[in-house]
C-alpha cells in the first residue's frame, strides 16, 4: 500500500514499512493545496506537528485507512472528521515522554538560575554576576497541571531536587497521587500556592486559555511558569502583562499558540526563557516516534488490532482477549452470510474467562466483520459503531463468567439466527461450534455452505454429489442435529463459492429445508 509521509520521520521507521512491502512516498513540506493533490491514492498518511489534516484532506483521501502522528499531540488532526470517514488516527504517546520531561527540567533550571540570559551577556563581554541572581528549587512548591505520563516523570525528577509537589488533575485518584508524593489541589489553590507551575496536558476546547488573566491574578509574585505541553493553553499576552507588572517572576516556554513563532509578547522580557518546540527534539525520541508510528500504521493497514488508535472506542485488548479478535471478525462475517441484512438488534454474548476482561474491542471486531460483509464501503474499528447507529441496529453485548461446554465462547444472535465460536487446543484453532442451536465443529473458512435438511439417510451423499459435480472442492465438513432430532445441518468449507445453479438444485432436493452461503 502507499504510505504518504509529509514530514521528517526517522529512517528506521520508514524502512520498517518498506520491508513490509509498502510503498513509502516521502513528500516533505507540502502546502495545504499540494497536500490535497498528493493525498488521493494514499492508504496511510504519516505526519508530525506541522501538517494540518483537515476535513477536506480526509475527504480527498478516499483510500485512507490510517493517519499516523509521530508524536503525542493531535491538535493538527481533525479526529472527528477522520472518525466519520472511517479513518483510524494513531499516535506514538510514549515516544517522547522522557525527552519532554527532561526538557521541562531544563527550562525549570534555566528559568530558576537565568542560565541563557547570563550566558548571552557574558558572550557579549558583560560580567553581570549580580544581575542574574537566581533561586533554588529546593523547598519550593512545584504545581503540576496534568499528572499523566510526562507529569509523573517531572514529579519524580523534581522530588530529587527537594521540591514540594502539588498537582491538579481531575482524572487522578488521591491514592495514586500519594504514591507519587503529590498533593492534589484545585486549580485555583495550585495557582495560589506554587512557586513554579508546569503544564502537561493536551490542548482541547476545554483547556485552551486555561491559564489566563483570572488565574494569573491568584499567583504569588515569585511564580515562574513552564510550558512544554501545547501552545494556547496559557494566554501569552496575559502572562507577559503579569510578568511586566511584577505579578509573576518569569516563564520558560517551548510551545506557542501559533507555530512557527518568531513574534510573541513574551520575547521582549528578560525574565523569559524560550525554545522553538524542542520538547521531543532528541535523537532518541525521534527514533522511538518513527519506529512506533511505523508499527502502528503497519498494523492498521493489515486490519489488525492497533494499541495506540485514538479514535477507537476501546483501543485496549488484554493478552487473554487479543487472540479472539480475529475470531470475532470471522463470526461477524459468517453471521452476515447466514442472516443477511437485519433491521433489529445484535446480541453478543461472552462466556468464560474472557468475560472477566474488557471485551469492547471484541464487539468492534465482530461489527467490523459483519458490516464489512453487508456494506459496500470500507469498515474499520473506527466507523463500525457509527454504521450500526446509522442502520438503526442496536448492539447489546453481555458477559458471564459462567462457562458450560467451553472455557471461552462468543455467541452472536439476531434476525432469528445464532452463531457461536471459540478457540480450541494449545494452538488456539478458530472453531465454529454452534449454528442456530445445532452443534457443529468446523473452522471458519472464506467460503461456507450451510444446508439444513431432514435428519434422514442419504442427505450427505446428495449434497456432496451436487457440489462435487460442479467441480467445487470440499476442504472440510461438519454435520449436526437439532436437540429435537427432526432436522440436521451440514456445514461445508469449500475452496470457492458454490455456483447459484448448484444452490438452486440443492433447494429443489428432497429433504433439504434451506441453503445459505458465506463468501
User: Which percentage of the chain shows pLDDT scores above 70?
Assistant: 97
Residue 416 pLDDT greater than 90, yes or no: no
* Whether 200 is catalytic: no
Residue 34 pLDDT greater than 90, yes or no: yes
**pLDDT-wise least confident of 2-16, 28-42, 169-183, 377-391:** 377-391
Residue 316: per-residue pLDDT: 60
**Where does the pLDDT of residue 380 fall: very low under 50, low under 70, confident under 90, or very high at 90 and above?**
confident
Domains of the chain plus CATH, in order, are: 2-94+284-301 (3.40.50.720), 97-274 (3.40.50.720), 437-519 (3.30.70.260)
Query: Which tens digit of pLDDT belongs to each residue from 77-127?
Result: 999 899 888 899 999 888 889 999 999 999 999 999 999 999 999 999 999
Residue 69: per-residue pLDDT: 94
Residue 342 pLDDT greater than 80, yes or no: no
8 Å CB contact between 46 and 1: no
- Give SS3 for 102: helix
Question: Nearest-CA neighbor of 305 among 331, 280, 290, 324?
Answer: 324
Question: Nearest-CA neighbor of 104 among 199, 213, 5?
Answer: 199
What DSSP designation does 211 have? B
Active site residue: 277, 329, 333, 413, which one?
Answer: 277
Separation CA 35–CA 39 (nearest Å): 6
CA angle (51, 52, 55) in 5-degree steps: 145
Reading the block at residue 516, the C-alpha cell is 445459505
Residue 71: per-residue pLDDT: 84
Point out which residues pair with 143 in neighbouring strands.
Answer: 166, 197
8 Å CB contact between 83 and 311: yes
Burial class (CB in 10 A: 0-12, 13-18, 19+), 333: buried
What DSSP designation does 473 have? P
User: For residues 61 and 317, which has the higher predicted lDDT (pLDDT)?
Assistant: 61
8 Å CB contact between 136 and 111: no
Residue 99: half-sphere exposure toward Cβ, Cα within 13 Å: 20
Strand 512-518 and strand 447-454: pairing? antiparallel
**pLDDT-wise least confident of 43-52, 150-159, 372-381, 412-421:** 372-381
- Give SS3 for 327: helix
* Whether 413 is catalytic: no
Residue 331 pLDDT greater than 80, yes or no: yes
Reading the block at residue 125, the C-alpha cell is 563581554
Give φ, ψ of 421 to 5 degrees. Answer: -150, 160
Separation CA 273–CA 297 (nearest Å): 37
Question: Which contacts qualify for 426-429: CB closer than 8 Å, 24 or more apart?
Answer: 428/323
Residue 314: per-residue pLDDT: 61
Separation CA 417–CA 423 (nearest Å): 21
Q: What is the mean pLDDT of residues 373-384?
A: 78
| Integer angstrom CA distances of residue 488 from 221, 421, 491 | 84, 19, 10
Contacts of 471 (CB under 8 A, 6+ apart): none
Separation CA 337–CA 475 (nearest Å): 19
Peptide bond into 260 cis (omega under 30): yes
Active site residue: 259, 347, 349, 446, which one?
Answer: 259
Query: Which tens digit of pLDDT belongs to each residue from 164-183?
Result: 999 999 999 999 999 999 99
**pLDDT-wise least confident of 64-68, 168-172, 202-206, 362-366:** 202-206
Q: Which residues in 390-423 are b (16+ Cβ under 10 Å) and which e?
A: eeebebeeebeeeeeebebbbbbbbbebbbbbbb
Edge-to-edge strand list for the sheet holding 250-253: 183-184, 164-168, 141-145, 196-199, 224-227, 250-253, 272-274
- Give SS3 for 27: coil
Give φ, ψ of 154 to 5 degrees. Answer: -65, -40
Burial class (CB in 10 A: 0-12, 13-18, 19+), 233: buried
8 Å CB contact between 68 and 309: no
Separation CA 166–CA 184 (nearest Å): 6
Query: Which tens digit of pLDDT belongs to each residue from 457-506?
Result: 898 999 999 999 888 899 999 888 776 666 888 999 999 989 999 999 99
Q: What is the 3-state secondary structure (H, E, C) of 484-511?
A: CCCEEEEEEEECCCCCHHHHHHHHCCCC
Point out which residues pair with 165 in neighbouring strands.
Answer: 142
Residue 203: per-residue pLDDT: 85
Residue 254: per-residue pLDDT: 96
The region that residue 487 occupies, defined by phi over 0 for left and psi between -120 and 50 for alpha, beta otherwise, is beta
* Whether 230 is catalytic: yes
Query: Which tens digit of pLDDT belongs to each residue from 242-288?
Result: 999 999 999 999 999 988 899 999 999 999 999 999 998 898 988 89
Active site residue: 22, 43, 224, 230, which one?
Answer: 230
Mean residue pLDDT across the chain: 90
Amino acid at each position: 500500500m502507499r504510505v504518504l509521509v509529509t514530514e521528517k520521520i526517522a529512517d528506521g521507521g520508514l524502512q520498517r514499512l518498506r520491508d513490509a512491502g509498502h510503498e513509502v512516498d516521502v513528500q516533505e513540506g507540502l502546502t495545504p493545496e499540494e497536500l490535497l493533490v498528493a493525498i488521493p491514492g494514499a492508504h496511510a498518511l504519516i505526519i508530525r506537528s506541522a501538517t494540518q489534516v483537515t476535513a477536506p484532506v480526509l475527504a480527498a483521501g478516499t483510500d485512507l485507512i490510517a493517519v499516523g502522528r509521530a508524536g503525542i499531540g493531535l491538535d493538527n488532526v481533525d479526529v472527528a472528521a477522520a472518525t466519520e470517514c472511517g479513518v483510524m488516527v494513531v499516535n506514538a504517546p510514549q515516544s517522547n515522554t522522557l525527552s519532554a520531561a527532561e526538557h521541562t527540567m531544563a527550562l525549570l533550571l534555566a528559568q530558576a538560575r537565568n542560565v541563557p540570559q547570563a550566558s548571552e551577556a557574558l558572550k557579549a563581554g558583560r560580567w553581570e554576576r549580580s544581575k542574574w541572581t537566581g533561586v533554588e528549587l529546593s523547598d519550593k512548591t512545584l504545581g503540576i497541571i496534568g499528572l499523566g505520563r510526562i507529569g509523573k516523570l517531572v514529579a519524580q525528577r523534581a522530588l530529587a531536587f527537594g521540591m514540594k509537589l502539588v498537582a491538579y488533575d481531575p482524572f487522578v485518584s488521591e491514592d495514586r497521587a500519594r504514591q507519587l508524593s503529590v498533593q492534589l489541589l484545585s486549580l485555583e489553590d495550585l495557582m495560589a500556592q506554587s512557586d513554579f507551575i508546569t503544564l502537561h496536558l493536551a490542548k482541547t476546547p476545554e483547556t485552551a486559555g486555561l491559564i489566563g488573566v483570572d488565574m494569573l491574578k491568584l499567583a504569588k509574585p515569585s511564580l515562574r511558569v513552564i510550558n512544554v505541553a501545547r501552545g494556547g493553553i496559557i494566554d501569552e499576552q496575559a502572562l507577559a502583562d503579569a510578568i511586566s507588572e511584577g505579578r509573576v517572576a518569569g516563564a520558560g516556554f517551548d510551545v506557542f499558540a501559533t507555530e512557527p513563532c518568531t513574534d510573541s509578547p513574551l520575547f521582549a522580557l528578560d525574565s523569559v526563557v524560550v525554545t522553538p518546540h524542542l520538547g521531543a527534539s532528541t535523537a532518541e525520541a525521534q527514533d522511538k516516534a518513527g519506529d512506533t508510528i511505523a508499527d502502528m500504521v503497519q498494523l492498521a493497514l493489515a486490519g489488525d488490532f492497533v494499541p495506540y488508535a485514538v479514535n477507537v472506542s476501546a483501543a485496549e485488548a488484554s493478552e487473554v482477549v487479543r487472540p479472539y479478535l480475529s475470531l470475532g471478525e470471522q463470526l461477524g462475517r459468517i453471521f452476515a452470510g447466514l442472516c443477511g441484512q437485519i433491521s433489529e438488534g445484535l446480541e453478543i454474548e461472552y462466556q468464560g474467562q474472557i468475560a472477566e476482561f474488557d471485551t469492547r474491542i471484541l464487539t468492534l471486531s465482530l461489527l467490523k466483520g459483519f458490516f464489512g460483509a453487508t456494506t459496500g464501503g470500507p469498515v474499520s474499528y473506527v466507523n463500525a459503531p457509527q454504521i450500526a447507529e446509522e442502520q438503526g441496529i442496536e448492539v447489546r453485548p453481555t458477559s458471564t463468567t459462567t462457562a458450560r461446554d467451553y472455557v471461552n465462547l462468543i455467541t452472536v444472535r439476531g434476525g432469528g439466527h445464532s452463531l457461536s465460536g471459540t478457540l480450541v487446543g494449545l494452538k488456539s484453532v478458530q472453531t465454529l461450534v454452534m449454528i442456530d442451536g445445532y452443534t457443529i465443529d468446523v473452522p471458519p473458512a472464506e467460503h461456507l455452505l450451510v444446508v439444513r435438511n431432514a435428519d434422514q439417510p442419504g442427505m450427505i451423499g446428495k449434497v456432496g454429489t451436487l457440489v462435487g459435480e460442479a467441480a467445487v472442492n470440499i476442504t472440510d465438513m461438519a454435520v449436526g442435529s437439532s436437540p429435537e432430532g427432526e432436522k440436521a445441518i451440514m456445514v461445508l468449507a469449500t475452496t470457492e463459492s458454490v455456483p447459484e445453479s448448484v444452490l438452486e438444485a440443492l433447494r429443489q432436493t428432497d429433504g433439504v429445508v434451506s441453503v445459505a452461503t458465506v463468501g
